[in-house]
A and B are shown apart, each in its own frame.
Chain A
């Protein structure tokens, strides 16, 4: 008998003989009225307000030109010297790479396993030798797979050229998204081909809500403990 058989055997002996009919999600959902719906402008406002509450920076641009100006302004405010960009179509459409290069900032596009590995190797070597890495790591610029108004969160689905460490290891993180990506609450991410589509699950999906934080020492909130200490979302539209 394997441990598996023994554990399952124990549980089967004690499990209720008449298993209750499976409670369907729809029945459960009926118990919990949906959060009141918002129009798009209401969703954007709520998303930005909630993100600000968790110490994230919420930016808004009506069009691509405004978006580019916002990115440039953020780089200045945060004192960015170099940035790692993901391959999200929106980041490319924004022309983040050209924009930063034009301002004489170092830019690296993490466009797949090879460039990601090389980037991480350099960060590892720098950490071991206690020196400054010679690849950009001040700022990560990425897109996202969806955003949540209720919590001010963005959802990342990992994919080639969209690694989590690409932004986790950076000091700051800027997410660009279009307004239509914002959904009201967590339940909406789970339905209808949202960011959390159960039929197409990558290795990791992470919902990010503001900067990395801890209050483990004397319950004093500090940001940037392991992940980015600065987090901003730029809503376009």
Chain B
């Protein structure tokens, strides 16, 4: 997928001016937050479950090379095939090769952030295949040439009128206004049902992969993943290497955490455990391929401070909890993974130079950590990334900050270390600011930096006396501790 993660500020401004988007995001995130709160409250042991989830995923990372080989062995022994892809291009080539060798035309796809990540659809189309997104939200986006704005609710930025127009334009079916959303739903059901029945290949991601048995787990509400994995004669699952967990029993813990954290459901409508090919007259595909995708994950793995971000199970709880995501929506983050976890992993997947503003797209309030089902220390990681942006690392040069900003910080450091100069400058600063005040606030300050800062908010009027003056007055001029 085309990345546009460099311009978070600009993207965010566009989102802030979109009233429908603001309402839609707020409504979705609020609904998810409320339902999650309810679902969590009902399990008094939820904190212990989170700790179990963290421990399982951490163990999986610690033993990742071994577990991937164990997973591979078990997929093969249940009749499947395993392919390894270092990057998006290799994954695309592998999938194209499987499809071409099997002579397929129609490919039904379930919602998968990983296939978004490798930008698969345009490649399949170019190679003459017909990929069809079957998740309702993704289908709408595919018809409109758009991309997801929320991990769980991909088309949250579209109105029902938008959808009706898209269906009319692309499917040539008119939805009478009185039919409403159920009518739109029925149009999509009918259009997609035909595709399920004729597709030769089904393409999915995986929520979890189990090393012990070679099983992949898929969680959904619509039933499209069940059909995608049941009907076509070939099933390809694109799986990030971080999805593996050690034992089959571990799936139980992860499944108690995932839907509760994502949508506040106790379980999704359909939770499927897929192991190998169809055996002994069972329904299912004759070929089962797992494509294990690296695409930057081993690079994240190499960074000890950030490795924990690979524990992510893509539930989206941190998006819903985040005050920044709640206002900007997902598109502002400019790539597949939005929200706090996106702010951590996008700069690592794309390179920090491609997304230098994302680590700053957070107030570091910690709400993301509080809700994370596998306890990823997102605020710490954002700080680590900010450090890398400012100072660079062994692998990466520092990202060049705007001249004025760099100068400001240097000037600040210089003054803050010299008490007399600090007193002088802060005194002048307070006087200048107070001259612009109207009552308790300053609506705008016509100075560089502050001008930008006050564009969307007011600055509180500073008191006439600074901290040191007030300290001295209250202590009765007992001495200058500065």
Contact = CB atoms under 8 A, between A and B. Distances in A.
B419 interface: no
B283 A164 contact: yes
B261 to A, nearest CB: 15
Given A165-B230, A186-B255, A212 B194 contact: no
Contacts of A216: 135-137, 140, 153-155
A226 B230 contact: no
Interface in A118-174: 120, 123-124, 127-128, 148, 150-153, 158-160, 163-166, 168-169
A235 B92 CA distance: 47
B3 to A, nearest CB: 22
Contacts of A39: none
Interface string B41-52: 001010011011
A104 interface: no
A164 B479 CA distance: 82
A230 interface: no
B194 A127 contact: yes
Contact of B185 (A2, A11, A205, A225): A225
Contact of A3 (B51, B84, B215, B276): B84
Contact of A203 (B56, B59, B284): B284
Nearest to B251: A190
Contact of A25 (B65, B197, B247, B266): B247
A202 B275 contact: yes
Contacts of A124: 194, 197-198
Nearest to A5: B84
Interface in A77-132: 112-113, 116, 120, 123-124, 127-128
Contacts of B221: 212-214
A132 B215 CA distance: 37
Given A116-B283, A219-B27, A206 B270 contact: yes
A68 B234 CA distance: 40
Q: Which of B48, B212, B221 counts the most A-chain CB atoms under 10 A from its CB?
A: B221
A207 B217 CA distance: 11
B383 to A, nearest CB: 22
Contacts of B265: 54, 209
Interface in B210-235: 212-213, 215, 221-224, 226-227, 229-231
B159 A15 contact: no
Contacts of B68: 7-8, 11
Given A168-B226, A201-B213, A209-B269, A190 B249 contact: yes
A222 B215 CA distance: 31
A212 B301 contact: no
A195 to B, nearest CB: 10
Contacts of B227: 165, 168-169, 226-227
A163 B230 contact: yes
A62 interface: no
B185 A211 contact: no
B307 to A, nearest CB: 8
Given A203-B274, A214-B222, A23 B283 contact: no
Given A15-B65, A25-B250, A207-B267, A215 B153 contact: yes
A212 B224 CA distance: 9
A163 B280 CA distance: 12
A207 B52 contact: no
A28 interface: yes
A7 B215 contact: no
Interface residues of B, number: 97
A151 B267 contact: yes
B444 interface: no
Given A25-B249, A217-B185, A220-B181, A160 B215 contact: no
Contacts of B267: 148, 151, 153, 186, 207, 209
A117 B8 CA distance: 52
Given A10-B298, A187-B252, A207-B270, A23 B282 contact: no
A222 B179 CA distance: 12
Given A4-B84, A160-B281, A226-B192, A10 B197 contact: no
Given A8-B69, A218-B181, A225 B197 contact: no
Nearest to B223: A227
B255 A164 contact: no
Contact of B269 (A186, A205, A213, A222): A213
B63 A19 contact: yes
Given A22-B59, A218-B159, A222-B185, A6 B230 contact: no
Interface of A: 2-4, 6-8, 10-16, 19-20, 22-23, 25, 28, 31-33, 35, 50, 54, 112-113, 116, 120, 123-124, 127-128, 148, 150-153, 158-160, 163-166, 168-169, 186-187, 189-190, 196, 198, 201-220, 222, 224-228
11 contacts: A7-B298, A8-B68, A31-B55, A32-B48, A148-B267, A163-B283, A203-B274, A217-B160, A218-B24, A226-B189, A227-B269
Interface of B: 24, 27-28, 31, 43, 45, 48-49, 51-52, 55-56, 59, 62-65, 68-69, 78, 84-86, 90, 134-137, 140, 153-156, 158-160, 163, 181-182, 184-185, 188-189, 192-194, 196-198, 212-213, 215, 221-224, 226-227, 229-231, 241, 246-253, 255-256, 265-284, 292, 294, 298, 301-302
In the complex, the 3 A-B pairs of residues with the closest C-beta atoms, listed nearest first? A227-B223, A163-B283, A216-B137
